[in-house]
Structure 1
Amino acid sequence: MTTPTRLLPFAPRRAVQVLAAVGAAALLVTGCGSDSDKGSDKKSDNASEASGGTRTVKDATGTAVKVPANPKRIVTLTQEDLDAVLALGVKPVGITNGQGLSKPPAYLAGKVKDINVVGNLLQPVMDKVVAAKPDLILAGDMQDEQMLKQLREITPATLVTMAPTDDWKLSFRGIGNALNKMNDANKVISDYEAKAKKAGEGLGGNKGAEVSIVRWNPDGPSWMEKKQFASGVALDMGLKRPKNQDKDGNAHTPALSLEKINEIDGDWLFLSTLTSDGEKALKDVQEKPAYKDLNAVKKNHAVTVDGSVWSTRGGPIASGVVVDDIVKALSAK
């Protein structure tokens, strides 16, 4: 990050120390017929790949990794990776709990009922990973080199799938390529973008409204910069951010004091939490005059949403949830 006060929106994750240009875009095929794969959108997903063969891709750190041509046993270590593979119609054999949760995220719960949990977010239990017998591990934005080494001893096909500046679409395309499903990934994104545009155009008097997107932490609120996941979805819908929140970046601000709470105001206010302490802090401040004086609150335009969706790095399924949440709120008025 460029300033000492900026915080990653995905604590407790550690920032990836790589050039922003590397990112998930580096998940391009570099071996096994790779000349044509530089334009992998044009390549039939499984064309020319024999069952049991391998392909070479570069992960989000630029590391070249051999992966199965058609992986069958995938373990995901973040909910973003899980979201991505489910959107591609692939059922993993091992998953981790959601961000800030002791269970898989609620919005994916119905899709993962019978899948083994191998640990918490970016904290896999190695014995459980071994028991899953993976042929591909998607390690999200993990930067614990010792842990990555252990995972690569289980299977060398272990990929870091996200860099700090990657949006969900970039990371998702990289995962799609790693799974040899780039065409499918592009279609998922195209379908999402069409849905977001149509939803935004159907908001009537709230079309183009300013939406404030805030995560409430135990020590106060933080508003999201406009390249953060949920902010990007709102922009895809043609909505706007309040002027003081119209900042590039995919982070959130430091927690604001009660004296600066006006910074979170907007036509609409979407509030999320990730912990029980954050939820308690939000409930406490909602009784205070400074909160009640916000324009969005006075208009009954303050909406509580699921932080395990809105305050993460996102994915195609989560994007659909955010679109639906916004439509539900803005269409009700």
Structure 2
Amino acid sequence: MNQPRRSSSLAPRRAARAVAALGAAALLLTACGSGDDSKGTKDSQGTSAAKGSGTRTVKDATGRAVRVPAHPQRVVTLTQEDLDAVLALGVKPVGITNGQGLNKPPAYLADKVKGVDVVGNLLQPVMDKVVAAKPDLILAGDMQDEQVLKQLREITPATLVTMAPADDWKLSFRGIGNAVNKLDKANEVISEHESAAKAAGAKLGENKGAEVSIVRWNPDGPSWMEKKQFASGVALEMGLKRPKAQSKDGNAHTPSLSLEKIDEIDGDWLFLSTLTSDGEKALKDVQSKPAYKNLNAVKKKHAVTVDGSVWSTRGGPLASEVVVKDISKALGGS
């Protein structure tokens, strides 16, 4: 089963899961106990780090030890999740990638990255552009292409894989916060999000505790999101529920369903997103079909279209704000 955001062969995903126990937790835990290197430790080239050199050693989401600047000044992000995280921490990157399937950054972050150089597409950096950005830290998301990682590390050894397949957004966010030496800030942001989600859920009136279906429409049909997927997690934090048919304890999405199984996407409320123009067309086409019109959520006019670049990803603190606002607006909260 694929992850919500990117599709790829299952073999690399399964292999990566073998090290997921290290994951962002390794990055996080190493950071908790490390500050500026100050005891003459040696780097990968055998050079001693002088006291006060301004570097720290952390582990990335694969368990790899990486020397990073104590206070990075020129950060390049290769995924939306990395970008969301650093912006939430008050760090403006010098290089970013476009959103999934887009030739521009995700809409919900666009205003925050005006003037920032785009160095490629999602997980597909153009190396000359990365070099031109002069990064002192590269956040490489869930990059699994070792050849690309090798090239990035030649640009700067401070290149970190920030996500393992099983990591949720909070774990990854704490790891990124640690990598940029802002772990306390990351914990603060998460606490504020959790309080805001709970408060928003309490304002939903008659829709408190409603069952919300969270669906991505693909070119070949709908997929519902499992309970630990990002947007689902936000909904649960708001005190909402998932339909019984969607009560699966995972962080991915189902294979695309046929119209014969479309009942699986029903709920008190139905949140629909797409990630591609083909998916958008498929959703538009199905909305005229009886199987879709007969869904209870559709009959009640409780079907809401939302931004797939927010709802159908691994998420982050800024994306979580959007999900809370979307749900509150739809269900009648303030």
- Give TM-score, length-normalised by structure 1: 0.91
2:191 is equivalent to residue 196 of structure 1: no
- The CA deviation at 1:161 is 0.3
SS of 2:62's partner is coil
Instruction: Report if aligned partners of 1:32, 1:54 keep a CA contact under 8 Å in 2.
Output: no
- The CA deviation at 1:76 is 0.1
**How do 1:42-57 residues align onto structure 2 when only pairs under 5 Å count?**
53-57=54-58
The residue identity in structure 1 corresponding to 2:84 is: D
Hey, what's the Cα distance between the residues in 2 that align with 1:50 and 1:216?
54
2:93 is equivalent to residue 113 of structure 1: no
Hey, what's the Cα distance between the residues in 1 that align with 2:288 and 2:32?
62
**How do 1:75-224 residues align onto structure 2 when only pairs under 5 Å count?**
75-224=76-225
The residue identity in structure 1 corresponding to 2:122 is: L
Instruction: Report if aligned partners of 1:214, 1:269 keep a CA contact under 8 Å in 2.
Output: yes
- The CA deviation at 1:181 is 0.3
- In structure 2, the residue matched to 1:34 is 34
Tell me the C-alpha RMSD between the 2 structures. Answer: 2.0
Hey, what's the Cα distance between the residues in 2 that align with 1:121 and 1:52?
33
Hey, what's the Cα distance between the residues in 2 that align with 1:325 and 1:115?
27
The ranges of structure 1 where at least 4 consecutive aligned residues each deviate by more than 4 angstroms after the TM superposition are 29-33, 49-52
- In structure 1, the residue matched to 2:2 is 7
Q: Which runs of 5+ in 1 are unaligned?
A: 1-5, 38-48
Hey, what's the Cα distance between the residues in 2 that align with 1:32 and 1:230?
28
Hey, what's the Cα distance between the residues in 2 that align with 1:87 and 1:332?
24
- The CA deviation at 1:34 is 2.9
The residue identity in structure 2 corresponding to 1:19 is: V
SS of 1:34's partner is coil
SS of 1:28's partner is helix
Hey, what's the Cα distance between the residues in 2 that align with 1:328 and 1:73?
37
The residue identity in structure 2 corresponding to 1:158 is: T
Equivalent residues, number: 317
- The CA deviation at 1:286 is 0.3
Hey, what's the Cα distance between the residues in 2 that align with 1:25 and 1:36?
20
Hey, what's the Cα distance between the residues in 1 that align with 2:32 and 2:206?
53
SS of 1:271's partner is strand
The residue identity in structure 2 corresponding to 1:205 is: E
Q: Which runs of 5+ in 2 are unaligned?
A: 38-49
- Give TM-score, length-normalised by structure 2: 0.91
- In structure 2, the residue matched to 1:324 is 325
- In structure 1, the residue matched to 2:25 is 25
Instruction: Report if aligned partners of 1:220, 1:257 keep a CA contact under 8 Å in 2.
Output: yes
- In structure 2, the residue matched to 1:284 is 285
- The CA deviation at 1:18 is 3.3
SS of 2:82's partner is helix
- Percent identical among aligned pairs is 80
